[in-house]
Amino acid sequence: MVHALEEAERVLIPGGQLIDLRPVSVDSRLEIIDGEAVRPAGMVDFSGGLPEDQAADQAVAQRLRRGGLIPEGDRQFEHAYYWQDLASMKAYAEERWSDSASVPGRVYRRAEDLIRKSLGPVRIRVRLLVHLAAYRKPPSPENSVPPS
């Protein structure tokens, strides 16, 4: 993210907007959805992404301090991932989350137990917290109008 921010700031036109959209490295619940019931299986540990989060936050803060970016809005929201079976969820986690997340064995075992006890088809869900912020590159001095 730090290098991407440097490159974005370099190529962004004066007055152009930069969107920062990334997951927040906080633990998230793995849930088994069985009809109308939502049953927690345990927590997915996303702390592996924390060093990258902190580096990105520091890089943005540095640019804000020196005036390289102007904040325009900041919020967080949840984004949910769904799978039809635990094998698909495991494959996805191994492929996409291997550097940032770990699912403890006890959580997989609890999920398997909940699925085994379900009365019909289930879905597996993990909800991640996502950070969304917008920044604008300041207009260039030659394009700004002096105050009257």
Whole-angstrom Cα distance, residue 94 to residue 44?
13
Read out DSSP for 51-98? Answer: HHHHHHHHHHHHHHHTTS-EEEEEEEEEEEEEESSHHHHHHHHHHHST
The candidate with the shortest Cα–Cα distance to 131, out of 18, 24, 17, is 24
What's the average model confidence in pLDDT over 10-22?
A: 91
Tokens of 61: 């803060």
Q: Residues, the chain, total?
A: 148
Q: What is the pTM of this model?
A: 0.81
Whole-angstrom Cα distance, residue 13 to residue 7?
12
| The predicted structure's pLDDT at residue 142 | 61
| The predicted structure's pLDDT at residue 6 | 78
Per residue in 58-82, pLDDT (tens digit) is 988 888 898 889 999 999 999 999 9
Q: Where are the domains of the chain?
A: 2-138
Per residue in 80-123, pLDDT (tens digit) is 999 999 999 999 999 998 888 999 999 999 999 999 999 889 99
Whole-angstrom Cα distance, residue 77 to residue 79?
7
